[in-house]
Amino acid sequence: RARRAYVDCVMRPQFDAVGEGLQIIRPRDVEIIGPNIRLGRHVHINAARAHPVKLCVWFEGTRLGRIDIGDYALISPGSQIISSIGISIGAGTMLASGVYISDSDWHGTYDRTREAGQAAPITIEDNVWLGLRAIVGKGVRIGKNSIVGAGSVVTHDIPPNVIAAGNPASTKRELD
């Protein structure tokens, strides 16, 4: 009951919108930074003391990032979702432990003090599974029902209904 009260009184108000059925395991190990974060219905966030979950929206001047997470999504320990412009995660998507999703390079090659416009939105469609420690970079779209293998680095679009893996991730086979 104490965890439920903490989620309802401390965590929920930090989101712009939260659907019914939110479940957060170890809510004190979930870091929410910034506004403009929305969760769908029955989202499950599973954090751990040594592997906190981070949801972060960067805001500077008139630019404000956003994070939208669809219904029945699962976020596992150690995952980080960091937005400068916009990240959309579809319904039924699963993020394994240590997944990193960021829509920005965060600084230029020579001027490392500013972001310098190095951002592009990310769209992860419904029912995607991102494997252990997968990395999703800026400007990427991952198609519906696709699986991204453990340790993969996604730098280009992944079509629907495929298994992709590698660095950079590429299609390994199609799914029925």
Q: How far apart are the C-alpha atoms of 162 and 11, rounded to whole Å?
A: 35
pTM confidence score? 0.93
Q: How far apart are the C-alpha atoms of 114 and 45, rounded to whole Å?
A: 31
From its phi and psi, is residue 152 left (phi > 0), alpha (psi between -120 and 50) or beta?
beta
- State the DSSP H helix or E strand holding residue 26, giving kind and residue range, or none if neither: none
Q: What sign has the CA pseudo-torsion 19, 72, 32, 137?
A: negative
What lies within 8 Å, CB to CB, of 5 at 6+ separation is none
Per-residue pLDDT of the chain (176 residues; tens, 9 = 90+): 888 899 999 999 999 999 999 999 999 999 999 999 999 999 999 999 999 999 999 877 777 899 999 999 999 999 999 999 999 999 999 999 999 999 998 776 776 666 666 789 999 999 999 999 999 999 999 999 999 999 999 999 999 999 999 999 999 999 98
**According to the model, what pLDDT value does residue 62 have?**
74
Give tens-digit pLDDT for 35-69: 999 999 999 999 999 999 999 998 777 778 999 99
**According to the model, what pLDDT value does residue 117 have?**
65
**According to the model, what pLDDT value does residue 159 have?**
98
**According to the model, what pLDDT value does residue 58 have?**
86
**According to the model, what pLDDT value does residue 110 have?**
74
Q: Any idea which residues carry the catalytic annotation?
A: 107
**According to the model, what pLDDT value does residue 64 have?**
87
**According to the model, what pLDDT value does residue 176 have?**
87
Q: How far apart are the C-alpha atoms of 167 and 82, rounded to whole Å?
A: 21
